[in-house]
Structure 1
Amino acid sequence: MDSTLPPHAAADWTIDQNWSSYSAEEHQRWTRLHERQMQILPGRACDAFMDGLSVLDLHGEGIPEFEALNKQLQAISGWTIVAVPGLIPDSVFFEHLANRRFPAGNFIRSEAEFEYIEAPDVFHDIFGHVPMLTNQVFADYMQAYGQGGLRAMNLNSLDALARLYWYTVEFGLIDSATGPRIYGAGILSSPAESCFCLESPSPNRVGFDLLRVMQTRYRIDDFQETYFEISDFNDLFHATSQDFAPLYRALEAAPNYAPGEILANDAVIQMGDHSYTQHSHLTATR
């Protein structure tokens, strides 16, 4: 990404949301995106997400105003939302998370990008991520991730840490009494992947293991080949609330695994048949 500070941004890359500048068409686009997801997510999204939508009143009547949303969110979990112009440098991103500030793009996708947008926009960031910040344990996990990211930058271990974020915050599943449910924002803001991750026979679903996750490459151009499922948010927080320095040293000599690879010691919940992947010609991974 371009690490040049935009001229209208503060030193921490924050900008005004400039809510009054959104057009009627942009507000309507948010409403349509919201309505589409709300037809899909009940029964698929985890309770913490659905509760967060309700308590924050994240309805579909146009793009939310960050200032009003922050009054609710800060009272619940101590987090605030800060507007940014798009992707920001890792160090800035980690610093915001470490101080319970969630960076959110202030722009909404164009009509041409309605089905898929490469860079996270205000719908992905606010609808997909922010409801989860009303869950205290997950909110604490996000802060701890930011703190860990600042340390990882000095240990040249950002690739492993990025995989943890990808397979939890963006594409994580959680067990429930009624089966696996979604908590990852990358899925929650995608109508197709919300169904694919739970109902397709193609992907693997594997029990969460910290080192395994940090060794596993991920797809950046299509549905995931493997989803890692946590038992609950307390287990996720406890598994990651440790000194990562020994893990990073272990990973230096450890192999990296392909996105769809299954290992002998995996806690396999679903062995995918890779029926979708076999017909996909996209191969970009990280």
Structure 2
Amino acid sequence: MAQEEYQRPEGTADDWTVPQSWSRYTDVEHATWDRLFERQSKMLPGRVAPEFLAGLDVLRMSKPGIPDFDELNRRLTDLTGWSVVAVPGLVPDEVFFEHLANRRFVAGRFIRTPEQLDYLQEPDIFHDVFGHVPLLSNPVFADYMEAYGKGGQRAAGAGAIDKLSRLYWYTVEFGLIRSREGMRIYGAGIVSSYGESLFALDDASPNRIAFDLKRVMQTKYRIDDYQQNYFVIDSFEDLLRETIETDFGPLYAELEGAADIEIETILRSDNVYTHGTQQYARSRDAELTA
């Protein structure tokens, strides 16, 4: 999700889309996708929400090579009415929300280099397609993403995009979910990262806190490393219902006068599953300031 203003690159359509140009991917780029896919798909069972694995299966994403959006969309659109559109990189908020509100998911068409397997600052096609698209085949999560896009359009008019962006960050990108088998990951930022897929569930460092809409929208986050907080939903149905039933206008007005919550803070009102040590974040910060 964009956080800044961008100039539309030459050669893009008015909605910032570009052809995927699938035939231009090199053997090295396809091999990089395959390497990333194999690594993640082997370690995610037992860690990721079953709806994600079902999406990988029904969309036939195990086929070797970078997915062709035309082929992928034939399956995805039949399932939930969503499609994937290629963009040259990050897009402005209003463009992002417009696409989501109309069931189009924007995806970067480039892929990281073999030297960047474990960290990439800007989302690439592996993060966008492997991380996000499988859950778009789930009708409930697909409805949530559309609702978020429409909510983003309203938030722009209310000057509250910064608050709403935290909801996206702590659900779509870095969300956890409870299940009968235990806690699972579903956020694309976790699912597409080998290291964070382990860290988010197993490490003692981060806080894991029950999802609360207002709490989430007040809470800062970090963009430069693993998260210090993960918010845990009970189900996608609950997440969708709360998003649809909440009157965001009064909530934005309330948040306007409320102080932001610092990242590692635990509130008395929090339902805490894990009160993290924050050891990882503190050691990393110490390294940077040494």
The TM-score, its normalising length taken from structure 2, stands at: 0.96
Per the alignment, residue 88 of structure 1 pairs with 91
**Dislocated runs of 4+, deviation >4 Å:** none
Bigger helix share: 2
Per the alignment, residue 243 of structure 1 pairs with 247
Of 119, 124, 140, which residue of structure 2 is paired with 1:121? Answer: 124
Task: Check 1:282–1:16 CA distance in 2 against 1; reply closer, same or farther (3 A cut).
Answer: farther
Aligned partners of 1:176, 1:60: CA distance in 2, in Å? 29
Q: CA deviation at 1:2?
A: 5.5
Q: Does 1:155 align with 2:158?
A: yes
Give the letter for the 1:229 counterpart.
V
Give the letter for the 1:20 counterpart.
S
Aligned partners of 1:274, 1:106: CA distance in 2, in Å? 35
Per the alignment, residue 280 of structure 1 pairs with 284
Aligned partners of 1:19, 1:182: CA distance in 2, in Å? 30
Aligned partners of 1:139, 1:275: CA distance in 2, in Å? 36
Per the alignment, residue 173 of structure 2 pairs with 170
Per the alignment, residue 29 of structure 2 pairs with 26
Q: CA deviation at 1:162?
A: 0.5
Q: Does 1:259 align with 2:263?
A: yes
CA contact (8 A) 1:15 1:84 kept: yes
- Please list the CA deviations of residues 81-135 of structure 1 after superposition, one character each: whole Å capped at 9, or x if unmatched: 0000010000000000000000001111122322111111110000000000011
Of 71, 77, 97, which residue of structure 2 is paired with 1:68? Answer: 71
Runs of 5+ unmatched residues, structure 1:
none
Q: Does 1:42 align with 2:45?
A: yes
- SS of the residue corresponding to residue 285 of structure 2 reads coil
Aligned partners of 2:187, 2:117: CA distance in 1, in Å? 20
- SS of the residue corresponding to residue 20 of structure 2 reads coil
Q: CA deviation at 1:243?
A: 2.2
Aligned partners of 1:90, 1:171: CA distance in 2, in Å? 19
CA contact (8 A) 1:205 1:268 kept: yes
CA contact (8 A) 2:118 2:195 kept: no
Q: Does 1:7 align with 2:6?
A: no
- Please list the CA deviations of residues 66-87 of structure 1 after superposition, one character each: whole Å capped at 9, or x if unmatched: 0000000000000000000010
Segment drifting more, 239-248 vs 134-143: 239-248
Per the alignment, residue 108 of structure 2 pairs with 105
Q: CA deviation at 1:3?
A: 1.8
Segment drifting more, 108-117 vs 12-21: 108-117
Give the letter for the 2:280 counterpart.
Y
Aligned partners of 1:177, 1:139: CA distance in 2, in Å? 22
Of 140, 143, 165, which residue of structure 2 is paired with 1:140? Answer: 143
CA contact (8 A) 1:219 1:283 kept: no
Segment drifting more, 254-263 vs 169-178: 254-263
Give the letter for the 1:261 counterpart.
T
- SS of the residue corresponding to residue 205 of structure 1 reads strand
- Over the matched positions of the two proteins, sequence identity in percent amounts to 54
Task: Check 1:282–1:166 CA distance in 2 against 1; reply closer, same or farther (3 A cut).
Answer: farther
- SS of the residue corresponding to residue 81 of structure 1 reads strand
Aligned partners of 2:255, 2:286: CA distance in 1, in Å? 27
Give the letter for the 1:152 counterpart.
A
Q: CA deviation at 1:278?
A: 2.1
CA contact (8 A) 1:187 1:194 kept: yes
Aligned partners of 2:212, 2:90: CA distance in 1, in Å? 28
Aligned partners of 1:178, 1:203: CA distance in 2, in Å? 21
Per the alignment, residue 271 of structure 1 pairs with 275
